[in-house]
Amino acid sequence: MDLLSYKITDSCVGCAICTTKCPVKAISGQRRHRHEIDASKCIKCGACTISCKFRAIVRG
């Protein structure tokens, strides 16, 4: 069982770029506010981590 999951930290500026990269639309949030990942939808592909210029998405 993989206990690691992707999380968005306080470094998030709410640019929403990651929401366009997630293949299963697991990321949501308001512009300029911290976004969130719905762990029940996330398939742990890692695309969001690569897309975030602010390194706000971590795996742990």
Q: Which residues bind ligand SF4 (CB under 6 A)?
A: 6, 8, 12-18, 21-22, 24, 26-27, 35, 37, 42-48, 51-52, 54, 56-57
Whether residue 14 contacts residue 32, with contact meaning beta carbons closer than 8 Å, is answered with: yes
Q: How far is the CB of 1 from ligand SF4 (least distance, A)?
A: 17
Q: Which tokens go with 35?
A: 């976004």
3-state secondary structure of 34: coil
3-state secondary structure of 50: helix
Q: Which is nearer to ligand SF4, 1 or 51 (CB)?
A: 51
Q: How far is the CB of 12 from ligand SF4 (least distance, A)?
A: 3
